[in-house]
Chains A and B, each alone.
Chain A
Amino acid sequence: MVQYPSIDWLAIAPLIVLLGGTLLVLVTGSLTKVWPRGLYAVSTAVLSAAALVVEMVLWNRVGHEGPVSIINDALAIDRFTLFVWIGVTIATGLVSLSTSEYLRREQLEGPETYTMYVCAAIGAMIMAASNDMVVLFLGLETLSIALYVLAASHRRRVDSQESGLKYFVLGGFASAFFLYGIALVYGAVGTTNIARSGQLLSQQVFVKGDDALLLAGVALLMVGLAFKVAAVPFHFWTPDVYQGAPTPSTSFMASVGKFAAFAAMLRVLTTALGPRADDWRPVVWVLAIASVVVGSILAIVQSDVKRMLAYSSIGHAGFILIGVEAAGHAGDQDGIPSSLLYLLLYSVLVIGTFTVVSLVTRSGDRASDIGSFRGLGKERPLLALAMTVFLLAQAGMPVTSGFIAKFSVIKAAADNESYAVAIVAMVASVVSAFLYLRIMISMWMSDAESGDEAREKVTVPWTAGVVVLASVVFTLVAGVFPGWLIDATRDALVVVR
């Protein structure tokens, strides 16, 4: 008789809430006529809020009872997991709200996009929680397939189709690399369980040259993960996909996608491969430096805002990789918290930024050239001001969350005496500041050109307005009072091992 594992239902309640809820929305949505304006988005946001409440309860429970490994050690419920879950859930809610009027404007209204968001979020959450490489792969595929669909979801735009196809082909390769990596590591260690791999590796002493299988596996895993986080040199898909995808989907990829990929990377590298940190740390070092440098330099030569932000997101991935690199040093206490903090702060920032972009690209989602921001300061001063806050935060200006994010990563690097990477990253961030300045110049300081009058006016629907306002408030509050967030990320250090 098959022995079924016991299931801790509360621990997976956020997943169940999201899945059940979104299926309900999908089914009722397809059986009824088009819902009133904004209701799909609001119901998805409410769903996220419900999941968020359960996650908070779990956060508390883990605080009292410690981290647990559930369902036959398939999922790890610790504060690391919950931090990512909370971040992903909030991001899903925000992106759903910002999508509402976009779909209406583009005449794509329906429940499917929201279902895709939630499915992707569930994949992301499984990735973050997975305590087994195979489960991790399941999460990765759930997330990726939903993202491919989202990228191609603007049915009438060829660019969107193209971006979906590109992402699919390249993403498929990356997944294959990752899967092969799992197989090789399994061959070397004898288990796919993440926590147990860590234990075994710390006891196992390889005879010189005998660990080729493991190292090859690690290399393949790194390729797969680096592709997902869009680190140089595995970044080539990013600009095309970010530019072509519908803007809200781009914002979802840049927030939830990054969050999940980095969570998986941190879990695999620090827990499963923690004992072999000396082997993977130099790789991460190179990826980090390459990403901050290439990301910022290529960002400033773009003329399309979505491409700019794609390259800038590569630069930000480089910053997060600095935190990952720090986590590879023995006895480090700052690497994982700083990466998580950066991820959370950046996710909110990037959602805010892309929400503004989605409003400015106007009907058809085509006007993403930097010129379409021209005169926004005159036409919509508050929206332009919000965008300015986001851009300054991405540049790392103090009093915004961006500064706290950069500071935490730089501190983690300096604490491990990785001064070179800290200096290179800071100088690169100055280079990328030029890109943010260019958008600000366009908004505030450029003179009107002929034909500007004829452009469609930028409108700010309340749903998008709420997202922008919430993001601005969070950006500033987290910039001035980051203490509670820092403490929360420190709690995330205790993981299932």
Chain B
Amino acid sequence: MSLFAASAPAAPFPVLTALVLVPLIGAVLTALGSRHRPEITKLVALVSSVATAGMSLWLLAEFDSHEGGFQLVSRHSWIDSWGIGWHLGVDGISLFLVVLTGVLFPLVIVGCDPHHDEKPYLAWLLLLEAGVMGSFLSLDLVLFFLFFEIVLVPMYFLIGGWGYDQRVYAATKFFLYTMVGSALMLVGIVTTALLARDDLGRLTFDLVEIAEGSNFAASTGRWLFFAFAIAFAVKVPLFPLHTWLPDAHTQAPTAGSVILAGVLLKLGTYGLLRFGVYLFPEAAVWSREVFLTLAVIGIIWGAVAATMQSDLKRLVAYSSVAHLGFIVLGTFAFTSEAISGGVMQMVNHGVSTGALFLLVGMIYERRHTRQIAELKGLQKVAPIFAAAFMVVMLSSIGVPGLNGFVGEFLVLIGSFSTARWWVVIGATGVILAALYLLWAYQRVFHGEPDEANSSFRELRLREGAVLFPFIALIVFCGVYPKPMLDRIEPSVKALLERVEEKTDFVVPVSDHTGHGEGGEG
């Protein structure tokens, strides 16, 4: 009867465990490498991240698209005395986030230059990758917390060690903000397991067991949901807990910004789905209006703030606040299209904003400024660079035919039936996105280049090679999102069935989407 029980037999090769351990081992090897042979260190880092990427793609191929439950589950006992286990699994919600993580890291390692102390930089990056992978794959509350929290450390050192002028301030702010959320979540996790013990008969932190076996009273569930949601709301970040984000993004080195925007923020939205909605459906439905409102405020606030930035990187950072608002909007609309769109948007935002940060990083490398006012007419001197920027920017705006459109459109159309007025206001965010991004593009790339900008270097081959996968994904997911949606939908449907079963919320049945439904069509 269980919706989320693992039905696929355990894979002969524990690919999920390997996805966590390979970058971890890579990090250790990189850290141990000789300072005098940087090329070997770099090679080790590259090999382990490429191997991880390869495994994540293999995972994509192995994944059974008709199955809504957790697949390729890997389960071992760990701290038996406390009922904590090594329990990893992947479903449609986490699949593409795992693949995105796998693909993003090697690109970042190739595409970004730390300028100094490459060895620790690479080691931190790989440790970060292991942490992010673990967070997306964990099906044990404590294991998840462990990865979720450990991610802070490498990110802290990456921002603090390789960032720009205000890096120490930004890194500290990032660390402490996120830790406040985690502190409450830890109490929430412990309490959840202890209360579930009464229903289950034994202490366990296993997500699936707790979700299926426990029955929290409504008020209890709401407190626990709150404890989890705060942590994720900081991570997303949801208005008004977003103030760490512009600082962290702007001060981080390019690689840090790309990873931060690409996958780290998704830990928040993913966590809301996986641990918030799945574990406490009643509380999630009960508090949906609060989240919808905060999401819409985030969309508008982020967009307005982005419009007013004079720093290109900060502009992109604020646009993240707006885009993540759409994901939260979709999550708490509780329709199949909206949540699927939200999951897609997580990946799309990772691709397009990641690419935007890469491009802004390249501009900084060339001009040593990110001030929009100091850039002018780059299109004239670097047309290919401008074209690449244009495609990525259009994807971020959500122009039809590119990936950004699919996710945002699904969120808006899916939310319309259950969260109409929020959508009406939130949809203006799409227009505002066009406003701030096009305006920025116009100021930076159009016109006649002045003296400082006339020597702006054209896109190099290596840079192009790094950008190519991003642009390919942007176009592919925009034109043909069906394979992705096919894999996301079953898990989202299973989640919604659970919401319907546990609450009196009625998920509207819709037939106006032309996408997906692969299993039924």
Q: Which residues of A contact B (CB under 8 A)?
A: 392, 397-399, 403, 406-407, 410-411, 414-415, 419, 422-423, 426-427, 429-430, 433-434, 437, 441, 444-445, 481-483, 486-487, 490
Contacts of A403 in B (CB 8 A): 146, 149
Q: List 9 A-B contacts (CB under 8 A).
A: A392-B153, A397-B149, A414-B187, A414-B190, A414-B191, A423-B183, A426-B187, A430-B176, A430-B180
Q: Does B371 sit within 8 A of A, measured CB to CB?
A: no
Q: Is the CB of A410 within 8 A of B187?
A: yes
Segment from B103-111, B160-168, B463-471 that makes contact with A: B160-168
Whole-angstrom CA separation of A293 from B123 in the bound complex: 35
Contacts of A392 in B (CB 8 A): 153
Say yes or no for B194: interface residue by CB 8 A criterion. yes
A433 touches which of B78, B176, B191, B194 (Cβ 8 Å): B176
Alpha-carbon distance A175/B161, docked complex (angstroms): 49
Are A423 and B172 neighbours in the complex by a CB distance under 8 Å? Answer: no
Asked if B81 is an interface residue, CB under 8 A from chain A, the answer is yes
| Among candidates B146, B152, B160, residue contacting A444 with C-beta atoms closer than 8 Å | B160
- Is B172 in contact with A437, judged by CB distance below 8 angstroms? yes
- In the complex, what residue of chain B is closest to A385 when comparing beta carbons? B31
A423 to B190, CA, bound (A): 11
Shortest beta-carbon distance from B294 to chain A in Å? 22
Number of B residues near A (Cβ < 8 Å) is 32
B149 touches A441 (CB 8 A): no
Q: In chain B between 187 and 233, which residues have their CB closer than 8 angstroms to a CB of chain A?
A: 187, 190-191, 194
Complex Cα gap A73–B176 (Å) = 51
Beyond A430-B179, A437-B175, whether A444 also contacts B157 by CB under 8 A is yes
The 5 A-B residue pairs with the shortest CB-CB distance, nearest first, are A426-B183, A398-B146, A486-B81, A414-B190, A430-B179
Residues of A within 8 A of B156 (CB): 437
Q: Bound complex: CA of A430 vs CA of B146, how far in Å? A: 16
Complex Cα distance, B172 from A334, in Å, reads 34
Whether a CB of chain A sits under 8 angstroms from the CB of B79 is yes
In the complex the two chains form, is B161's CB within 8 Å of A487's CB? Answer: no
Closest residue of A by beta carbon distance from B185 = A426
Minimum C-beta distance from A335 to chain B (A) = 14
B150 touches A397 (CB 8 A): yes
Query: Which residue of B78, B145, B186, B194 contacts A415 across the interface (Cβ within 8 Å)?
Result: B194
Whole-angstrom CA separation of A422 from B176 in the bound complex:
18
Chain B residues whose C-beta falls within 8 Å of the C-beta of A483 in the assembled complex: 78-81
How far in angstroms is the closest Cβ of chain A from B197? Answer: 9
The answer on a CB contact under 8 Å between B82 and A486 is yes
A392 to B82, CA, bound (A): 23
Identify the closest chain A residue to B150 (Cβ): A398
Determine if A419 and B187 form an interchain contact, defined as CB atoms under 8 angstroms apart: yes
Q: Are B176 and A441 in contact (CB under 8 A)?
A: no
The CA of A399 and the CA of B127, in the complex, are separated in Å by: 12
Known: A397-B153, A415-B194, A441-B172. A427 touches B145 (CB 8 A): no
B184 part of interface (Cβ distance < 8 Å):
yes
Residues on A with beta carbons closer than 8 Å to the beta carbon of B149: 397-398, 403
CA distance A424 to B78 in the complex (A): 29
Most buried by B among A403, A429, A481: A403
Residues of B within 8 A of A444 (CB): 157, 160-161
B80 touches A407 (CB 8 A): no
Residues of B within 8 A of A445 (CB): 160-161, 167-168, 171
Number of A-B contacts (CB under 8 A): 80
Cross-chain contact B82 with A411 (CB below 8 angstroms): yes
Q: Would you give the 0/1 interface string for B73-111, flagging 1 where the beta carbon is closer than 8 Å to chain A?
A: 000001111100000000000000000000000000000
Are B79 and A486 in contact, CB atoms less than 8 angstroms apart? yes
Q: How far is the CA of A445 from the CA of B160 in the complex (A)?
A: 6
Contacts of B78 in A (CB 8 A): 483
Distance between B234 CB and nearest chain A CB, rounded to angstroms: 11
In the complex, residue of chain B having the shortest beta-carbon distance to the beta carbon of A485: B81
Cβ–Cβ contact A414 & B176, under 8 A? no
Q: How far is the CB of A457 from chain B (nearest CB, A)?
A: 19
A residues within 8 A CB of B168? 441, 445
The smallest beta-carbon distance between A191 and chain B, in angstroms, is 36
Docked Cα-Cα span, A427 to B80, in Å, equals: 28
Closest to B82 in A: A486
Interface residues of B (CB under 8 A from A): 78-82, 142, 145-147, 149-150, 152-153, 156-157, 160-161, 167-168, 171-172, 175-176, 179-180, 183-184, 186-187, 190-191, 194
In the complex, what's the smallest C-beta–C-beta distance from A477 to chain B, in angstroms?
13
A106 to B79, CA, bound (A): 45
Contacts of B179 in A (CB 8 A): 430, 433
For B190, the chain A residues whose CB sits under 8 A away are 407, 410-411, 414, 422
Closest Cβ–Cβ distance, residue A478 to chain B (whole Å) = 11
Q: Which of A399, A407, A422, A427 contacts B180 (CB 8 A)?
A: A427
Q: Which residues of B contact A437 (CB under 8 A)?
A: 156, 172, 175-176
Instruction: Please measure, in the bound complex, the distance between the C-alpha atom of A426 and the C-alpha atom of B231, giving whole angstroms.
Output: 13
Complex formed: what's the CA distance from A426 to B183 in Å?
5
Query: Which residues on A sit within 8 Å (CB–CB) of B81?
Result: 483, 486-487, 490
CA distance A423 to B187 in the complex (A): 7
Bound-state Cα–Cα, A445 to B161, Å: 6
A438 and chain B: residue at smallest CB distance? B172
Q: Which residue of A lies closest to B177 (CB)?
A: A430
Identity of the chain A residue whose Cβ is nearest the Cβ of B162 in the assembled complex: A445
* B127 shortest CB reach to chain A, Å: 10
Q: Which residues of B contact A406 (CB under 8 A)?
A: 186
Supposing A437-B175, A487-B81 touch, asked if A398 and B184 sit within 8 A by C-beta, the answer is no
Whether the Cβ atoms of A407 and B191 lie closer than 8 Å is no
A437 to B179, CA, bound (A): 12
Which chain A residues lie closer than 8 Å to B145 at the CB level? 398
Question: Are A429 and B183 CB-contacts (below 8 A) given A411-B190, A482-B79?
Answer: yes
Question: Chain A nearest CB: distance from B453 CB in Å?
Answer: 31
Known contacts A414-B194, A430-B180, A486-B82, A422 near B150 by CB under 8 Å? no
- Distance (whole angstroms) from the CB of A213 to the closest CB of chain B: 39
A411 touches B194 (CB 8 A): yes
What are the residues of chain B within 8 A of A414 when measuring CB–CB? 187, 190-191, 194
Residue pair A441, B160 in contact (C-beta under 8 Å): yes
The answer to whether residues A430 and B183 also contact, given A414-B191, A441-B172 and a CB cut-off of 8 A, is yes
Residue of A nearest to B160 (CB): A445
Tell me, rounded to whole Å, the shortest Cβ–Cβ distance linking A391 to chain B.
11
B146 touches A399 (CB 8 A): yes
Partner of B186, one of A407, A419, A482, A490: A407
Minimum CB–CB distance from A377 to chain B (whole Å) comes to 9
Give the distance in Å from the alpha carbon of A403 to the alpha carbon of B157 in the complex: 20
Q: Which of A392, A399, A411 has the most CB atoms of chain B within a 10 A radius of its CB?
A: A411
User: Do A434 and B191 touch (CB < 8 A)?
Assistant: no
* A423 in contact with B80 (CB, 8 Å): no
**What separation, in Å, do the CA atoms of A414 and B196 have in the docked complex?**
13
Q: How far is the CB of A320 from chain B (nearest CB, A)?
A: 17
A434 B157 Cβ-Cβ under 8 A: no
Shortest beta-carbon distance, A436 to chain B, in Å? 10
In the complex with contacts A434-B176, A490-B81, A427-B160 CB distance below 8 A: no
CA–CA, A482 and B146, complex, Å: 14
Measured CA separation A419–B157 after assembly (Å): 33
* Among A429, A433, A486, residue most surrounded by chain B Cβ atoms (within 10 Å): A433
Chain A residues with Cβ under 8 A from B167's Cβ? 445
Check if A422 sits within 8 Å of B153, measured CB to CB: no
Alpha-carbon distance A411/B191, docked complex (angstroms)? 8
Query: With the chains together, A304 CA to B81 CA distance in Å?
Result: 40
Chain B residues within 8 Å of A398, by CB:
145-147, 149-150
Docked CA distance A410–B192 (Å): 13
| A residues in contact with B80, CB < 8 Å | 483
- Chain A residues whose C-beta falls within 8 Å of the C-beta of B160 in the assembled complex: 441, 444-445
In whole angstroms, what is the CA distance A23 to B184 when docked?
51
